[in-house]
Amino acid sequence: MAAYLQWRRFVFFDRETVKEPLGLDGAGGKPFALPPGIAVCDSGRGSLVFGDMEGQIWFLPRSLQLSSFQAYKLRVTHLYQLKQHSILVSVGEDEEGINPLVKVWNLEKRDGGNPLCTRIFPAIPGNKPTVVSCLTVHENLNFMAIGFADGSVVLTKGDITRDRHSKTQVLHEGSYPVTGLAFRQSGKTTHLFVVTTENIQSYMLSVKDYPHLELDTHGCGLRCSSLSDPSQDLQFIVAGNECVYLYQPDERGPCFAFEGQKLIVHWYRGYLIIVSRDRKTSPKSEFAGNEAQNSDKQVLNIYDLCNKFIAYSSIFDDIVDVLAEWGSLYVLTRDGKIHVLQEKDTQTKLEMLFRKNLFEMAINLAKSHHLDSDGLSEIFRQYGDHLYNKGNHDGAIQQYIRTIGKLEPSYVIRKFLDAQRIHNLTAYLQTLHLQSLANADHTTLLLNCYTKLKDSSKLEEFIKTSESEVRFDVETAIKVLRQAGYYSHAVYLAEKHMHHEWYLKIQLEDIKNYQEALRYIGKLPFDQAESNMKRYGKILMHHVPKETTELLKILCTDYQPSGDSEGMLEGKKANSEEFIPVFANNSRELKAFLEHMTEVQADSPQGVYDTLLELRLQNWAHEQDEQIKEKLHNEALTLLKSGRFKTVFDKALVLCQMHNFKDGVLYLYEQGKLFQQIMHYHMQNEQYKKVIEVCELYGDQEACLWEQALGYFARKEEDCKEFIAAVLKHIENKNLMPPLLVVQTLAHNSTATLSVIKDYLVNKLQKQSRQIEQDEQRIQKYREETTRIRKEIEELKASPKIFQKTKCSICTSALELPSVHFLCGHSFHQHCFESYSESDSECPTCMPENRKVMDMIRAQEQKRDLHDQFQHQLKCSNDGFSVVADYFGRGVFNKLTLITDLPVGKAAATIEAGLQRELLTHTKRST
């Protein structure tokens, strides 16, 4: 009773009286009245069903258009409308004193306008006539149970709509009237609850012999039992005058102390509906208003057993029954009126609870109504706001935690940013991370909370979750921990989650543990190790140069992360040239690195060799010890001679010149065939013998060296007669310079006398004298030849020619007729002549020589014409240089060799053009 009095009362239903529908004339609006004499009622399939004392069954649809048919001759005593089938089962009387009849009606079929009665059988247990007390039918149409006032229960098994397919038997016998029956279906198991005025029993119908179990030793009155819905696990409800009991098929469940004489019990959508007569109700009860309550008044209470409150309570006059249909409750009273109880919508009920600050009850109600998560979240928020405003921050944060995923976290965070509420904020942020809904800002805030609280244990617990359970942004956590000075925690996170850059940054910039950072880089995969060495190599080289150099050697040759099994990872090589900047201000380590690379990797990048050469030249230039300097000299020269600088000749030359490395410069000049530069180098250093040696070595490849040497010695004021003589001797042998040019060149030397060139000039004049004699002899020979040819021409014109050849000039065989003879004295077989001759008028034997002469004559004539044309254009043009450049561009002044023997078959035009070009461009140098 005490528990019952603590239940809150609400008005979650609206009460109205059902009124008649408006007619066409606008009349209506009066309370709807049922026919008199209604004895029993039920609902289902869209209608309210009534049975009266005159044997009629009435149907009231939602349109309130009553209809009826005569089911019995006397009266209707019981009705049961199936909810899933249009089957109505009734019990009534046709004759006085005769056992009542059970009739099964198919409402979808008609028989003369009335529903079709598919089955009729007497309601009697065996041969004992008695009164029917209650009736129930299983929704599968395979079971029907009838209770009697003598304590008997008759069970019909099989198709209840057919006599042929069903079997009726007495299931239960007792000495107390049966007041309630209910079928319970759970899976494939069917139970039948039987309640009498003195006990409650459960029968298992899905097992042979129908075993039963007595559940309790007290019962209830008629219409005071019902079966709950699945929300209450299909429990059998029995309402006594003191308590309401709930039963499972095998045991008794919870009990609720609801006092008052129970008249009617129903179950509706999770609510327990009890109509009772409470004689103790005060005349000034809230249900009675100002009117005194009399004994005929009845109280209708609607209980929410799950949430422990009374959803509705009201007083009615003499209730006949309570029916549920069309989503509402209908209360029938003895005066024929129908009262409808319409449940308020969930939001309205919640608002009523909110106004009374009953948030816990609102939450339970929302859950029982299966409100979605958004709706529940709003309730949690309002509850949290209520607790927060009352100052209950711990309770408020618990409610706000329940809104995670729906409510914007910033709404809650702003409320708890005060330092005194940091514990509450921490709890909220922890839950936010556990549900993987935190962003980087939330992680930052939570870690700051930990650090402000100096809660190292919580901090470690937060960051040391397994990788699969990480619910925060790791990089953000590392930043916050680093900023707060928790370096060990930050390093742990960075290493665990493979944030290599952060790990190295903290080790090098904050902890200053360079050895550990270097060890860590050696464990990384190749690509990451390479990038991090480029980034942090200079710092590491400054503090741990030796170890850093060793790691770079490995990285650039055959890298394999430390800890990997042999052969598990294919070795990769970094570009050693890219790491040279790492060795800034560490020349010793740089030299060791570069020499290692050139030894183990002959195909190292060119930059390695360039840098090594520069390094060796620098060391050589700054070394003071002669022995070490000589060694460095040899090393640099050896590197130059390794053949690695062919493609970067200029760079190597610049390096050698910068460091005044003479041997290297001369070697590179020689390799680049820069003979003039070699000689100029010796000239600058006034090494006369070296100048002569260079001319002797390379003069054949570049003749101008001797001329340059003569000019060099001619400009010297020292006594260079010995060297000038040597040069003049070679110039004379090779005929490199005209004598006049030699004299003019030596005139610049004030110390050189005529004796220096006396022998040269004498020899030169003698050679020219001999050349003149040879030319005069050749002229005389040409004159004699010309005279002879002219004489021969005259003889050919005036004298007869006798052909005495006996052999063919081509095949050398004896001549046979027909034959061909030429004035030149050659004779040919006709067939030989036709095979080898190119022209019918020319001798095949003489034709090549004749053609040479003719080509030379034509070339000379054309050359004379071209010369005249050139001289004319040169005189008439305002810009003589452009004319010369034009002829030079066309190759007129090129020195070409005349080719007289051309391949057979070449076109005559091509031959003539070539000869003309060669003859015109041929220039003769006078000696």
pLDDT at residue 214, as a whole number: 92
Measure the CA–CA gap between 287 and 302, rounded to whole angstroms.
14
326-340, 597-611, 812-826: least confidently modelled range: 597-611
Contacts of 784 (CB under 8 A, 6+ apart): none
Instruction: Name which residue leads in pLDDT, 603 or 345.
Output: 345
* Whether residue 746 is found in the same domain as residue 814: no
Domain-located, residue 526: no
Domain-located, residue 771: no
User: CA–CA distance from 583 to each of 158, 232, 837 (Å)?
Assistant: 100, 81, 83
- CA torsion sign, 165 to 171 to 173 to 178? negative
* Among 817, 833, 860, residue at a domain's last position: 860
478-492, 570-584, 887-901: least confidently modelled range: 887-901
Q: Could you tell me the CATH number of the domain that includes residue 78?
A: 2.130.10.10
Closest CA relative to residue 495, chosen from 519, 471, 530, 527: 519
Asked whether the predicted pLDDT for residue 68 surpasses 90, the reply is yes
Q: HSE, CB side, 13 Å, CA atoms: give it for residue 455.
A: 16
> Model confidence over 155-208: pLDDT tens digits?
999 999 988 878 889 998 888 999 999 999 998 999 999 999 999 999 999 888
Which strands form 271-277's sheet, in the order they lie side by side? 8-9, 309-317, 297-304, 271-277, 261-268
* Among 175, 209, 243, residue at a domain's last position: 175
Give the pLDDT band (50/70/90) at residue 904: very low
pLDDT at residue 44, as a whole number: 92
Instruction: Name which residue leads in pLDDT, 465 or 205.
Output: 205
Is the peptide bond between 129 and the residue preceding it cis, with omega within 30 degrees of 0? Answer: no
Stretch 699-721: mean pLDDT, rounded?
59
* Whether residue 716 is found in the same domain as residue 833: no
CB-based burial, 388-424: b 16+ in 10 Å, e otherwise: beeeebebbbbbbbbbbeebebeebbebbeeeebbeb
Asked whether the predicted pLDDT for residue 595 surpasses 60, the reply is yes
- Do β-strands 309-317 and 8-9 pair in parallel, antiparallel, or remain unpaired? parallel
Give the pLDDT band (50/70/90) at residue 49: very high
CB-based burial, 536-567: b 16+ in 10 Å, e otherwise: bbbbbbeebbebbbbbbbbbbbebbeeeeeee
* Whether residue 814 is found in the same domain as residue 759: no
In this structure, what DSSP letter does residue 314 have? E
Domain-located, residue 840: yes
Contact 341, 269 (CB under 8 A): no
Closest CA relative to residue 125, chosen from 81, 157, 156: 156
Stretch 752-760: mean pLDDT, rounded?
59
Stretch 771-776: mean pLDDT, rounded?
86
User: CA–CA distance from 421 to each of 380, 427, 893 (Å)?
Assistant: 20, 10, 103
Asked whether the predicted pLDDT for residue 905 surpasses 60, the reply is no
Give the pLDDT band (50/70/90) at residue 727: low
> Model confidence over 825-879: pLDDT tens digits?
788 887 787 777 777 778 888 888 878 888 888 777 776 667 777 777 777 877 7
* Whether residue 97 is found in the same domain as residue 150: yes
* Whether residue 60 is found in the same domain as residue 139: yes
Asked whether the predicted pLDDT for residue 913 surpasses 90, the reply is no
Measure the CA–CA gap between 37 and 40, rounded to whole angstroms.
9
pLDDT at residue 726, as a whole number: 61
pLDDT at residue 700, as a whole number: 56
Start-end of H helices in 454-525: 456-463, 474-484, 487-496, 500-505, 514-521
* Whether residue 61 is found in the same domain as residue 153: yes
In this structure, what DSSP letter does residue 807 have? B
pLDDT at residue 639, as a whole number: 65
> What letter represents residue 898's amino acid?
L
> Model confidence over 91-129: pLDDT tens digits?
999 888 778 999 999 999 998 889 999 999 998 887 778
pLDDT at residue 128, as a whole number: 77
Asked whether the predicted pLDDT for residue 226 surpasses 90, the reply is yes
Measure the CA–CA gap between 38 and 56, rounded to whole angstroms.
9
Dihedral over alpha carbons 433, 437, 442, 447 (to 10 degrees): 20
Domain-located, residue 98: yes
> Could you tell me the two tokens for 858?
């034509």
Measure the CA–CA gap between 639 and 623, rounded to whole angstroms.
18
Closest CA relative to residue 440, chosen from 477, 468, 466: 477
Radius of gyration for the chain, computed over Cα atoms and rounded to the nearest angstrom? 65
Q: HSE, CB side, 13 Å, CA atoms: give it for residue 780.
A: 6
* Whether residue 734 is found in the same domain as residue 849: no
* Among 715, 743, 765, residue at a domain's last position: 765
Domain-located, residue 918: no
Domain-located, residue 59: yes
Domain-located, residue 170: yes
* Whether residue 49 is found in the same domain as residue 125: yes
> Model confidence over 520-562: pLDDT tens digits?
777 788 878 777 888 887 787 878 888 877 777 777 787 777 7
Domain range holding 846?
807-860
* Whether residue 50 is found in the same domain as residue 155: yes
| DSSP secondary structure, 425-458, as one string | HHHHHHHHHHTT---HHHHHHHHHHHHHHT-HHH
pLDDT at residue 659, as a whole number: 67
Domain-located, residue 72: yes
Q: How many domains does the chain have?
A: 3
Calculate what percentage of the chain has a pLDDT beyond 90: 23
* Whether residue 155 is found in the same domain as residue 77: yes
* Whether residue 166 is found in the same domain as residue 55: yes
Stretch 679-693: mean pLDDT, rounded?
65
* Whether residue 746 is found in the same domain as residue 829: no
Rank 504-508, 590-594, 674-678 by mean pLDDT and report only the highest. Answer: 504-508
pLDDT at residue 695, as a whole number: 67
Is the pTM of the predicted complex or chain greater than 0.75? no
pLDDT at residue 565, as a whole number: 41
